[in-house]
Amino acid sequence: MKVKVRSVGLVKQLLGQGELELVVPEGTAVSGLLRVLADEKSEKMAPFAVEPKAPSAHAPLRVMINGRDIQALEGRHTVLEEGDDVLIFVPIAGG
């Protein structure tokens, strides 16, 4: 199935592009998508492909599917569907 992956900021830099379409197997969850991005698109994404063991392990990765934060769904276990629009980014704070 095809999913659209968009990224901004640090994630865009790590992937080397802001938007791409990926073909992933049916039943792929967000965690699997992150592994695909690390394995096939940029090894620099590898630290983000696994759930951090400690909050300070790496910058907090945020993932939105069709405009909904995965934390309001099933987190990294959220299963993707054909045509999903996935936005991946690291939040920025400032003042």
Domain annotation for the chain: domains and CATH numbers:
2-89 (3.10.20.30)
What integer pLDDT is reported at residue 47 of this predicted model? 82
Each residue's pLDDT tens digit, 19-44: 999 999 999 999 999 999 999 888 88
- Residues 29, 31, 35, 41: is their CA dihedral positive or negative? positive
Is 37 in contact with 89 (CB distance < 8 Å)? no
Q: What is the pTM of this model?
A: 0.87
Average pLDDT over residues 36-55: 80
The per-residue pLDDT for range 65-79, each reduced to its tens digit, is 999 999 999 999 999
Residues paired with 68 in a beta bridge: 65
In the β-sheet with 85-89, what is the strand arrangement from edge to edge?
19-23, 2-7, 85-89, 62-65, 68-69
